[in-house]
A and B are shown apart, each in its own frame.
Chain A
Amino acid sequence: MRRISVVFAVAMGLVAADAGAQGAKPKGKPVAGPVAPPFTLTPALQQKLKSADEAQVRAALDDLRLGGKAAQAAAPSVVELLERGTTASLTEAALDTLGDMEAESASEHIAVYTHHRDVAMRRAAVKALIKTKGAAAIKGLRHALSDADPMVRGVAATGLGTLKAKDAVPDLYVALDRKIAEAAAAIGQLCTGADCDQLSAKLGRLPFDVVTGGLDQILFRPTSEITDDDKVKVIGKLRELGTQEANKFLKDVQARWPKGGSARVRQSIDQAVLATAGGAQ
């Protein structure tokens, strides 16, 4: 069985944070957000952000990061820091800070850094965009799917799933065909109807663990998004595969299937597990 890449694993973690249909447990653990202390944007803090002393600026950014979403009011000051330009380490810290502040108003400014020549900056920018959200973030992430760096592409694909960028599904399919494995999970989060069938059809053509990264998402999405019929279809495809790895995956889904989840889908899973037992390697 192929190993899932580190990026893919990270992606799964990010995706899981937004999943949870019917009390379901998709793979990966939810990311618990830090408990933000009360935050006040003081003139002193603003002054520190404008300081010529790198340490002062860094300290101010650290304060803002700790403030998290509560420090959003300071986002324009951090954006100003980026707009004026600064050292590489402060730029990266500023991007991270804006991400932690979840300042949607900063997305447009962060997106500019997905064009930076330093790949570390681009990676920081796409990660920040996933947190700041909004149309500008989605636009930036879709653009980043075409980046030369595999990690930037992977995080961008994951981010599009996280941000529920349904319009990006066609791009994500292209990305999947171009071996951006993280696109599968994103598609699993976003697809509907025929889009989901297209992902199931990749079984046997793309690495099993890549495709099931997306199918897992489909199975655990709420019925309001994916009908039981569609989920049964996915299980049927896995059952048709009849391999040991299909059986292993189905067993895993069976174990995680929520008690209050669809009985019909549960029955389909049970039958598929039995049918694929002793399947081909």
Chain B
Amino acid sequence: MSRRLPAAVAVALAAMASASAASCGGGTTSINLFSTNWSDDHGVSMENVRARLAGAKPAPGADVVVGVAGNADKIIGLPLGGGPKWTFAHPLDSRPLVAGTVVIGSGGGELFALDAVKGTKLWARPTGGLAAYGAGDDGGVTVISLSGASGRGSVLLAITHDGAVVRQIETDKSLGTPAVVSRLAFVPWSSQYVSAIDLSNGDEVGRVVLREKTSRAWTEGTSLYFGEVGIFRFDGHIKDASRGQATHVQLPVRELPGAPVLMQPGGERLAPIAGATDRIRLFARPSGTEPLTIEDDRFFATYFRIVMGFDAHRGNLSWVHLHDHDVVGGDAAKGSLVLCDELGKISILEAATGAVAGQLDLGEPIKSCTVQVETFAANNGVRGGTLAAQIAKSLESNEAQLATGNRFLLRELATLEDEAATKTLVDLAQSPRAAPPLVADARQALATRRNGARFMVEALQKHYDFLKDELRSPPVGPMAQALAAMKEKGAAPALADHLLDPADTDDDVKQAAAALVVLGGPAQVPQARHFFAMYRATAEGDDMIAALVSAGQVLLKYGGKDGRVIVDYALSDPRTIEAAKERLEVTLQQIELEQGSGGKPDKPEPAKPEPAKPNATKK
């Protein structure tokens, strides 16, 4: 449905239209386009469109990286397949769009097109301040979505590469990013429809309703796609879209740091300067095969400097690449991921492994970038270690900005069977530079580990030491839990030493003592005895009382008769903590039950404290 534009805009666009109409026979269309008084035709019209295209393939686009530099007034282009870098100076009020073989920019009151490979100016037209936010191209005609003058609605312009306006459509509907194939524009709108518009007469010749939020149409390889959340392919099943039976693929749903999205809404203008949503993004490419899948079975996520590759079927993390600088844009290619960072460096990562397969340079820092990859194929790179090692590298960065991403990676690390994962968790949990939430996560994860005992035992040798500047104790508690679960007897000496380390937390001491009940032996009795003596009458708090009880159990289990004497004395002394007494009594009863009536050992007579004398005086 068309509507009126403000005078200035209308004059500018009319000038464009009249100039082109005179030469190319184009004109303004105001038909029953984008009407919501439309009944689902069950794919009949779109099937007709498909038949009309009769297998026509989209024209291949350029493989190019386009960056915005300077004060958002300079465009830098770099063809990926070779060819020289180009620059074009022009004010920009939105991020340049790459469509097919052209780059569309808007700013300074005009809309302009550049050859994507050479950077040469194809045409420029006044816009009255409207900003371009979406474009499609079929090698001859470029269709551009512009924001409405009042902030509502959209303007759709179809312009040939030599600057002739083929069609101009204004509507109060929010149009998405269009695609063009053989002079048929495919325009998503109202987040659910895609209308096919014949650019020769402006007629809407087909429409389909999609059962998932859709605001973008694009061509890739030899196929036409629609989508935003997921990806629909324009093929023989598109007619069944309203019944939810179109060919469709989407990324597995999983938790990711910063909740990135695959595509920004196609009806929104992107600022020339990249923001957080450009740094926290998903990348994936439809396979173009039958059935439709995600290319290379990989999707990718960025979180500032962290780049991650995932298995596209199950969503499992496959690799991690810690980039030198924030990633601000990119595109998934066949076999690789092409990324650009804020310093203008282009990195090509192997899709399967994340290995760096190539690097290019825009030559200067950039504000944002747009990458379009159609046929570019990367060389193989060299994988940077195991997944555990890759995660460790990121965790070691200790950057506040990466904290959320690193917490995510730490959770992933905890699921790996690799012993190196245990080592990383141990290192992180005692690193004085690590962020407190990461340390807490690492401790939690450590307790559940069931391998890497040697790293834990090694870490337990460390203690707080002011002189050596070791100001953080090792994660004794979680490691004690894990080592006890693994029945790692070799850890007992180190655990016993931690009973007497005042720098350990109460919880650490509790866990160490509990582990010693399982892992200890006679060699650990001296430390248990000292601990028991120090705290049997002074322990405060549940953790310390639990530790005291465990120390008593160690004495009973491994201390022989002497151990029993110590515990019996404590049970008879009124100064012993009552809560501990009760639990030790229970332990004793259990021991006696286990030993049975026939096997009961000689119970030594404890040296009971002398009873208090009524007239005792204090000197």
Contacts and interface: CB of A to CB of B under 8 A. Distances in A.
A121 B538 CA distance: 11
A145 B607 CA distance: 37
Majority secondary structure, B binding face: loop
Given A82-B533, A175-B467, 6 more contacts: A51-B613, A52-B573, A112-B530, A115-B530, A116-B502, A148-B502
Given A113-B534, A117-B502, A52 B465 contact: no
B609 A50 contact: yes
Contacts of B607: 50
A205 interface: no
Contacts of A145: 466-467
Interface in A253-271: none
B604 interface: no
Nearest to B608: A52
Interface of B: 464-469, 500-503, 509, 529-530, 532-538, 544, 566, 569-570, 573-575, 607, 609-613, 616-619
A84 B619 contact: no
B579 to A, nearest CB: 16
Contacts of A117: 502, 509, 534-535, 544
Given A55-B617, A56-B613, A62-B618, A85 B533 contact: yes
B528 to A, nearest CB: 12
13 contacts: A52-B574, A59-B617, A62-B618, A84-B533, A85-B570, A91-B534, A91-B538, A113-B534, A116-B502, A118-B538, A146-B464, A148-B503, A178-B466
Nearest to A58: B618
Nearest to A53: B612
Contacts of A50: 607, 609-610
B92 to A, nearest CB: 56
A122 interface: yes
A88 B538 contact: yes
Contact of B569 (A51, A55, A58, A84): A84
B502 A115 contact: yes
Could you tell me the dominant secondary structure of chain A's interface residues? helix
A228 interface: no
A85 B581 CA distance: 14
A52 B575 contact: yes
Given A84-B533, A86-B575, A112-B500, A52 B609 contact: yes
A83 interface: yes
Nearest to A81: B533
Interface in A148-174: 148, 153, 171, 174
Interface string A46-84: 011011111110110011000000000000000000111
A197 interface: no
B616 A59 contact: yes
A42 to B, nearest CB: 13
Of listed B467, B509, B544, B566, residue having the most chain A CB within 10 A: B467
